[in-house]
Amino acid sequence: MVLLLTASPGQAADVETHGFLLLNYSGRMTDDRPAQSDSDFLLGEERLRLDVSVWADEIEASARFKGDLFHDSVDDETELDMREAYVDYATDKVDLRLGRQIATWGVGDLLFINDVFPKNWVSFFSGRPLEYLKIGVDGARLRFSGEMINADVILIPFFTPDTLPTPARFFLYDPLAPVTTRSETKPASTYDNSELALRLYRRARDFDVAAYLYKGFWRSPGMRPDDFTAPTQIELFYPELYVYGASAQGNAFGGVLSLEVGYYDSRDDRDGNDPTIANSQSRFLIGYQRQLKQDLTLGLQYYTEIMRDYDQYKQTLPAGFAVQRRSRDTVTLRLEQLLRHQTLRLSLFTFYSPADDDYLIQPKMSYQFSDELSATLGANFFGGNKKTTFLGQFDKNDNIYLSVRFDF
């Protein structure tokens, strides 16, 4: 629906509104319940989305609001989730965006190296649509388009952590679970603590190449007990992090080849002697995607992260804590098939870590009944030999979900 409004005498602003109603339910597939939950459901939501765009060609400016009003039936709460709200101003070579916005960088498929922006892992592990994996940041983005090179600069004065699963709805490994007195300290909103992300990119032969720089903080907190031998309280905090990286993506071997590297410089523990802070690490990714036949697509990725100062890590790790491997790798597989004039989508995405011997399998089926009405049925199957590995700890959180969406 497009309306024409008068912005000022002699000028006009176009307004476009969209939205949808989304019903999203996710149920457990085991009889087990976390100690802090008595519900058979991980999710029970009704969402109403309003998406409003306004633009005026005369002044090359636009604005957008995208927000959800939703009811959470598991906690019986109703809240407003402001996904994005920003103003754009464009000139010949420079674009400026100010406000809440979602940023996405890098070339990985659900594996992130230089995409250091906040994510909602509760959404990802419980069956919300994929767009809810990303969380908006409040800041400013400046984009420069040049003949030799392009650049994006994002300034984020207000820190936003990842949204991580909690014992309220998930089974999790927590070596300090008996300590329930916990506090969280986020980086103060000061000029010095403002996050800064830079991407330089251009086309080089058949590849899109990019270099990245990030100055900010780990999105997942460190855990600092008041006493390692007899802790009574824990502080959750976010150590300083710099990331340096690069990527390339282009046509090769009949498909699309993706390469990405990154170095995570853990600034608050550069010697690896503090067991409460993640060590510095190197990360690598190679991916390949191609169409096997019409409407059937295959994607493969290999990802690994290698911890620096591993000897110091093992020497300072407190007794009773699980020892991580120095190198942890992951292999992913994506298969997607479109059927019935592309109204039916069958997809399978799997994560498997040879190092940790754990996995996540995500089958999904979506059907488009009409231009307005669609439905998705999917599942998350977790597994692993140890409850201390990243995916193995979710072993009892298998779930099946159904979402129905009506667009208007």
In the block, tokens 């890590």 appear at 313
Cβ–Cβ < 8 Å for 397, 382: yes
Mean pLDDT score, 377-399: 96
Distance of CA 359 to the CA centre of its chain: 18
Q: Which CATH architecture fits 14-407?
A: Beta Barrel (2.40)
Q: What is the pLDDT of residues 116-161, one digit of tens each?
A: 999 999 999 999 999 999 999 999 999 999 999 999 999 999 999 9
Sign of CA dihedral 312, 314, 320, 324: positive
Q: What is the pLDDT of residues 260-294, one digit of tens each?
A: 999 999 999 999 999 999 999 999 999 999 999 99
Q: Can you tell me the distance from the alpha carbon of 297 to that of 329, in angstroms, rounded to the nearest whole number?
A: 24
Mean pLDDT score, 113-117: 98
Contacts of 58 (CB under 8 A, 6+ apart): 7, 11, 12
Mean pLDDT score, 45-66: 94
Using the predicted structure, report yes or no on whether residue 4 has a pLDDT greater than 80: no
Secondary structure string (H, E, C) spanning the chain:
CEEEEEEECCEEEEEEEEEEEEEEEEEECCCCCCCCCCCCEEEEEEEEEEEEEEEEHHHCEEEEEEEEEEEECCCCEEEEEEEEEEEEEECCCEEEEEEEECCCCCCCCCCCCCCCCCEEHHHHHHCCCHHHHECCEEEEEEEEECCCCEEEEEEECCCCCCECCCCCCCCCCCCCCCCCCEEEECCCCCCCCCEEEEEEEEEECCEEEEEEEEEEECCCCEEEECCCCCCCCEEEECCEEEEEEEEEEEEECCEEEEEEEEEEEEHHHCCCCCCCCCCCEEEEEEEEEEEEECCEEEEEEEEEEEECCHHHHHHHCCCCCCCCCCEEEEEEEEEEEEECCCCEEEEEEEEEECCCCEEEEEEEEEEECCCCEEEEEEEEEEEECCCCCCCHHHCCCCEEEEEEEEEC
Start-to-end Cα distance in the chain: 9
Q: Can you tell me the distance from the alpha carbon of 277 to that of 229, in angstroms, rounded to the nearest whole number?
A: 18
Using the predicted structure, report yes or no on whether residue 5 has a pLDDT greater than 80: no
What is the rounded average pLDDT for all residues in the chain?
94
Mean pLDDT score, 237-245: 98
Confidence category of residue 10, pLDDT binned at 50, 70, 90:
low
Mean pLDDT score, 216-227: 95
pLDDT at 305: 97
Residues facing 250 on adjacent strands: 207, 257
Q: Can you tell me the distance from the alpha carbon of 102 to that of 35, in angstroms, rounded to the nearest whole number?
A: 34
Residues facing 119 on adjacent strands: 134
